[in-house]
Amino acid sequence: MKKILIIMGRYLPGYKDGGPVRSIKNLVDRLGEEYDFRILTADRDHGDDKPYSCIKVRDWNRVGAVKVYYVEPGGFDRETVESLAKGADLVYLCGCFNDYARTTLKLKKQGRIRCRVVIAAMGLFSPGAFHIKYPKKKAYMILLKWLGYFKNVEWSATSEEEAEDIRREAGKDAVCHLAEDLPRKPEEITHIAETEEGNLRVIFLSRISRKKNLLFAAKVLRQVKGNLVFDIYGNKEDVSYWEECDEELKKLPENVKWEYRGEADAEQVVKIFSGYDVFLFPTMAENYGHVIFEALTGGCVPVISDKTPWTGEKMEGCGENVKLDEKTALEDFVKIVTKYTEMTKKEKQEAADRCIAFAGAYRAEEAEEQYRKMFG
């Protein structure tokens, strides 16, 4: 059985990083019986001052189907990374903008890590993501290329488009493997939102950062008629951005009752979605968008931007897409949300049932095989 060492910023029981944690959890859940996965990660969640209470630091912990080695802040040192990588057949590095990434890539360049190293791009190079703090990121990539840190490493991309983004920033000769993110294993769920005509329950569930575009979502709902409930779940990752959103949310008319409901328990996300009609998510960039599949699983219709892999065709008509860069984007989102507001209770339930049926029938065999080929 091949041993795969995954190095990442945070893992369970952490949840504030959203997609990356879910991506690796799904990978381990689906292929954990075929590979000996080990994870090296931090001992606390994003922004927390204290470590998780239920773990042993600098020792192996059994977390589901995987063994996890937690380190304290600053603990991704050369000795630790080299020691854990020594027995691995492959190192799977989540991103390249972190201290653990620099340490791993330097060790690889020096020949102190002899096995293959594959960097998962994690959507970091999409135009929407890369252009946030662009000068700093661009300078960083130029430095790493100049140091030769991208020589003799490989990349994991979720699509041909992401592979092009990687080659644009890491070099035209970058070796890219296509491996689409794996969805959560479907779970049986009952959709519990029972909303009458003229009413709508809307949810935003994601990290609260500029890329996720909550501010735009609030502007959409300012223009929707009818009785709306708008609940917001997510880690306030960017406090200054949340303050901007809060000001916009306070301008919502009386027909929209909004509430910030805190951070969602990762294992309760599908159940949470089941209580809403529409998932409003005008994101600027998603590498995969696990939260979109989770909305579908819960029977909550995704009303999303075109900056995700989840096209209307891929969702088989169960969700709605809007071109975010068009001048009519705001108007188009308003029209779609209004359409669902005006649906009868029966029509909304039928839409929910289609989402649940789609998620239940979704097959990931092709994506699983892509990982098998990449791992070798």
pLDDT on residue 194: 80
Nearest to 37 by CA among 8, 58, 65: 65
CA angle at 322 for the pair 250 and 346, rounded to the nearest 5°: 80
Q: Is 240 exposed, middle or buried (0-12, 13-18, 19+ CB in 10 A)?
A: exposed
Which CATH entry fits the domain spanning 3-179: 3.40.50.2000, 1.10.3720.10, 3.40.50.1260, 3.40.50.20? 3.40.50.2000
Q: Are 237 and 315 in contact (CB under 8 A)?
A: no
Query: What's 199-361's CATH class?
Result: alpha beta
CA angle at 350 for the pair 347 and 351, rounded to the nearest 5°: 90
- Tens place of pLDDT per residue across the chain (376 aa): 999 999 999 999 988 887 789 889 999 999 999 999 999 999 999 889 999 999 999 999 999 889 999 999 999 999 999 999 998 999 999 999 999 999 999 999 999 999 999 999 988 888 878 888 889 999 989 999 999 999 999 999 988 999 999 999 999 999 999 998 888 876 666 777 789 999 999 999 999 999 999 999 999 999 999 999 999 999 999 999 999 999 999 999 999 999 999 999 888 999 999 999 999 999 998 888 889 999 999 999 999 999 998 998 999 999 999 999 999 999 999 999 999 999 999 999 999 999 999 998 887 888 899 999 999 8
Give residue-wise pLDDT tens across range 138-192. 998 999 999 999 999 999 998 899 999 999 999 999 999 999 888 887 666 677 7
- Strand 278-281 versus strand 154-157 pairing type: unpaired
Write down the domain spans for the chain. Answer: 3-179, 199-361
pLDDT on residue 188: 65
Q: Give the span between the Cα atoms of 47 and 55, in whole angstroms.
A: 18
pLDDT on residue 75: 96
Show the tokens assigned to 310.
């989840």
> Comparing 3-179 with 199-361, is the CATH topology the same?
yes
Q: Could you give the percent of the chain with pLDDT greater than 70?
A: 99
Show the tokens assigned to 153.
């490493």
pLDDT on residue 187: 66
Q: Which residues partner with 71 through β-bridges?
A: 42
